[in-house]
Structures are given as structure tokens and as C-alpha cells.
Amino acid sequence: MLRIIEDGPIFSSRNSYRTPLIMAHRGGNTLAPQNSLPAFERSCALGVWALESDIRLTKDGIPVCIHDADIEKMTNGEGEVSSYTFRELMKFHIDTGVDSDVLSEDELRIPTMAQYFDTCMRYGTVPFIELKEDNTAEIVIKELRRRSMESYAVISSAKFEHLEETRKISEKIFIHHIFSSKDRIDDLYNLGYAGLSFKIKNPDDCPAGLVGDVHEAGLRICLRAADDRETMKKMIDMGLDYQPSNKVFGY
């Protein structure tokens, strides 16, 4: 029996050539350093549907946007985000990535979640929030509610427990399971208003019937990733509902 795919304001437009629902992965990591304010700004200015960023908490509980637990890969510091207070963390700056040698120190500080949300609100872009740690969902949703953004955002995670925690707190927010499997389809259906991604880079490698099976369960689906126009068009033709991109370009 076909289950109805739930709608919400973030899906007011269907994924199509005219309105591709592109999500800028790590904030648009080929336009500027990943998860940086310039990446956020440049991606949104190009008209992406959603802006993906990773959320971690400082020692004093401030949510910031950074992919790795350790700051050494992306900044001039070392150690884990959780070992620094917010004020201590702001002493470091991003020193890796596109234009990291020409951007200002203010532009290269690790953004707060609040700054990330500010950018999304200014452009009308969907925040596609990846939870990296336990006990973060409530903090994120509280801020979304304060901004009246709860229905205009996505919470995603590779850890299914994060999505279960999210759904206990909010019935309104769309949830997305990263690198999922067919075994999770019924679990996501039971949580409601959900989508999932499969770790399939080439759409030609997508198993026959997979998209239909997901849609039949009333869920939304994407693959990884629409990094050129040809791949983007193939994914739209397949009936995918949205698509992450590592190489954001004008649409």
C-alpha cells in the first residue's frame, strides 16, 4: 500500500530542473573553507535550497559549526572543540581551504550556530543541520523555535539515536538519516516526516526499485552527490527529492 509522503514548507517546490533542491555540503566547501561564514554566504547567494553544516558543542555548551571533533585539521589550533570554552575557541582561526589566505580573521573564525541560522534566515535558505554529538538536539530545536524556524529546517545524523531524540522533542522538523540502508525504512516511517541518503556516488549504480521502495514508504531520498550538472539532472530524472553537492555552482 502506498504511504503518503508528508509535505512541509521546506518542500513547497519539487526537485526539478527549474528548481533543483541542492544542499550545499559542509556549507559549500569549494567556494570557501568548509563550514565558514564566507562559504555560507557564497552558497546562499548562488540560490541553494539548503545549507548543510555540522554542529558541535564547546566546553561551556555553545553550539558551533565544525565537522571534526579535533580542530587541528581546519584551524591553527589543536585539541577537541569540547575541551575549549567558546571564548577560548575564538582565539583560533580557520587556515585551510579556498581563500583561507585572503579572508579576514573574523571571516575565518569558527562560526556559531546562531551565525549559521542568521545567514539562512537572511536568504530564506533551509538549514540542514547535522548532529555530531549526543544531547545536542534539544539545544538546536530550542534555538529554531526561538526563531520560528522549527518547520523550516532539517536535522540529520548518521546516528539513528539522534533522530529518535529529535522526534521526541519535535513533531514538526524534517529528519534525515545519513548513509542509511533499506533496513531503516520502516524505522524512519514510524518516526514520520523523514528522509534518508544512501552512500551511492554514481546514480547509475543505484539499485533498481530503490527510489520507488523509499517513496512507497512515504519517505524522501537522496544519494551522494550532485557535483556536476549532468549528475544533478540524472538524480532529478530518477525522482530523487533533494541532493547534496560538494561543488556548488549557479543554478
State the cell numbers at 161. Answer: 539515536
Residue labelled with grid coordinates 589550533? 77
Q: Give the contacts of 234 (CB within 8 A, at least 6 positions apart).
A: 203, 204
Is 204:238 a contact under the CB 8 Å cutoff? no
Residue 206: name the closest of 182, 229, 227 by CA: 182
Residue 250: its pLDDT value, please? 67
CB atoms within 10 A of CB 215: 16
pLDDT of residue 4: 86
Question: Which amino acid type is present at position 213?
Answer: D
Distances from the Cα of 236 to the Cαs of 25, 26, 218, in angstroms?
A: 18, 22, 18
What string of pLDDT tens digits covers the 251 residues of the chain? 568 898 999 999 999 999 999 999 999 999 999 999 999 999 999 999 999 999 999 999 999 999 999 999 999 999 999 999 999 999 999 999 999 999 999 999 999 999 999 999 999 999 999 999 999 999 999 999 999 999 999 999 999 999 999 999 999 999 999 999 999 999 999 999 999 999 999 999 999 999 999 999 999 999 999 999 999 999 999 999 999 999 987 65
User: Could you identify the residue written with the cell 523555535?
Assistant: 145
Decide yes or no: CATH 3.40.50.720 for domain 9-245: no
Helix (DSSP H) and strand (DSSP E) numbers for the chain: 8, 9
Provide the 10 A C-beta neighbour count for residue 184.
16
Pairing of the two strands 22-24 and 50-57: parallel
Beta strand pairing call for 50-57 and 243-245: unpaired
What are the distances in angstroms from CA 173 to CA 14, 147, 151, 181? 18, 14, 5, 21
C-alpha cell at 185: 525504512
What's the burial of 2, exposed, middle or buried (CB within 10 Å: 0-12/13-18/19+)?
A: exposed
